[in-house]
Structure 1
Amino acid sequence: MSTFYRIAYRLDFHPWEDAAGHPPFVEKIAELLDHEENGREPPYGRALDVGTGSGIWAVELAKRGWQVTGIDIVDGALRRARDRVQTAGVDVRLVHGDVAELHAVGVEPGFRLVLDTGTFHGLDSAQRHAMGREISAVAADDATVLLLAWTPQRRGPLPRGVSYGEIETAFPDWDVTDVGPTHFEAPKPVELLMNPNERWYRLRRE
């Protein structure tokens, strides 16, 4: 998948960014974040945006009062993210690295929130287990993981998706809750081709 994203950003092709302009999607992710922030005052703590891409949600987290680190393996995506962070005037640490090898790029423990808006579901089985292990190592004891995933289906070079059970397998020490659809509506040709059926999952340590 990393090769696909490298080519996509080189060609300036990144339709997944359209979700930021889709009110139902934005309202759903805001609802999930509101839940994590309820009863607390900013700063809320450290947040890790895995597969941050162009930094859309890393910037949003920073605006809300989180201390944010965004990680991605695609140079083109990180260049867009740096521009976005600078334009927004927020403080976000951007790291070039593999989400399955967080320790190798100096991502230290203590994150109260981990956000994944579409990375895990595109990995192979070994990478998923590695990502689950790495996130478990850097997440605080009271951390929450918010994970967006497509349901499983063959989609050629695009993410094949992941089942509830596969998420549980990769995160054996976490309780996984399906918290509903993302409400993102892709353009009809894209919807028919990919049938993503996007869902949000909330993970909390057992």
Structure 2
Amino acid sequence: MGIGYATAYRTGIIPWEKASRTGLPVLERLLDREEALRPDRIRRAIDLGCGRGAHTKLLLDRKWDAIGVDDVRQAVDTAVRRNGLDDARFVIGDVRHLVHSGVGTSFDLFLDVGCFQGLDAAGRTQMADGITELAQPDATVLVHAAAPQRWPRTSRGADRSDLEQAFRGWTVTEQVPEASDPDDAGTWFRLVLS
């Protein structure tokens, strides 16, 4: 998983960063709701597959106690420098092994902007099981994914059935397309523990 991404970061070919910015207005609305549901407590979040940390910084700016996780050291190093954040805000780790990555426990929110969709079925289940183990009872998972496509296959993509298959014990409560045609930009999914 990390070798292809490490090469992409080294060469500067990182189109997913531009794609993730198109979903920002929808993400902001989704985060508004999550914050309204937890007004009087410290809110803890993990940015899964954080890359260069833009969404981790967004969460921190919105007063979440946030940590980013990515398995590409160069991306994490850039996240620290680029965002002016303490390196304790980032963990070099594999999202398929969250429990043993040193991120802690008791998270309210798991943010995934394009990470789940790139994993195979076994990796998706491992990631979901780790999230379940680290989640507060009222936790939320927000996942942004492109629709599955046959060609060109730059990413596997993911849809509701993929999420329901991996996240046993969770319910998809919302599905928000970024555009009138979800195949154009992707879809946000909101999951809660059942």
Aligned counterpart for 1:133 among listed residues 125, 129, 133: 129
Please show how residues 25-40 of structure 1 align to structure 2 within 5 Å: 25-38=23-36, 40=38
CA distance in 1, matches of 2:14, 2:180: 15
After superposition, the C-alpha distances for 1:112-137 in whole angstroms (9 at most, x for unaligned) are 01100010000001100100100111
Aligned AA for 1:61? L
In 2, Cα distance between equivalents of 1:160 and 1:39: 32
> Partners of 1:16 and 1:52 in 2: how far apart?
11
Asked whether the equivalents of residues 144 and 202 of structure 1 are also in contact (C-alpha less than 8 Å), the reply is: yes
Q: How does 1:1-206 map to 2 (within 5 A)?
A: 1-19=1-19, 22=22, 25-38=23-36, 40-41=38-39, 44-86=42-84, 93-155=89-151, 158-183=154-179, 197-206=185-194
Summarize the Cα distance change of 1:79–1:157 in structure 2 as closer, same or farther, 3 Å threshold. Answer: farther
Instruction: Give the secondary structure class of the aligned counterpart of 2:128.
Output: helix
When residues 167 and 97 of structure 1 are mapped into structure 2, their CA distance, relative to the original with a 3 A threshold, is: same
Q: C-alpha offsets along residues 37-96 of structure 1, whole Å, 9 cap, x if unaligned?
A: 11644764110000000000000100000001100001121111011231xx57861000
Letter in 1 for 2:163: I
Among all aligned residue pairs of Structure 1 and Structure 2, give the percentage whose two residues are the same amino acid.
Answer: 38
Superimposed CA distance per residue, residues 96-123 of structure 1 (whole angstroms, 9 cap, x where no aligned partner): 0100001222222200011000100000
User: How much is the aligned-residue C-alpha RMSD, in angstroms?
Assistant: 2.3
What stretches of structure 1 of length at least 5 have no aligned partner? 186-194
Moved more, 62-71 or 12-21: 12-21
Deviations 1:176-205 (A, max 9, x none): 1342113499xxxxxxxxx55410000001
Equivalent position amino acid for 1:162 in 2: A
Task: State the AA in 2 paired with 1:11.
Answer: T
Contact 1:112 1:144 in 2 (8 A): yes
Moved more, 156-165 or 47-56: 156-165
Instruction: Tell me if the contact between 1:62 and 1:90 (Cα under 8 Å) persists in the aligned partners.
Output: no
Amino acid at match of 1:176: V
Report the TM-score, using the length of structure 1 for normalisation: 0.85
Task: Name the CA distance, whole Å, in 1 between partners of 2:161 and 2:63.
Answer: 33
Asked if the contact 2:170–2:192 (Cα under 8 Å) also holds between the matched residues in 1, the reply is yes
What is the alpha-carbon distance in structure 2 between the residues aligned to residue 184 and residue 119 of structure 1?
23
Alpha-carbon distance in 2 for matches of 1:63, 1:77 = 20
**Runs of 5+ consecutive residues of structure 2 not aligned to the other structure:** none
Question: Are residues 92 and 157 of structure 1, via their aligned partners in 2, closer, same or farther at CA, if it must alter by over 3 Å?
Answer: farther
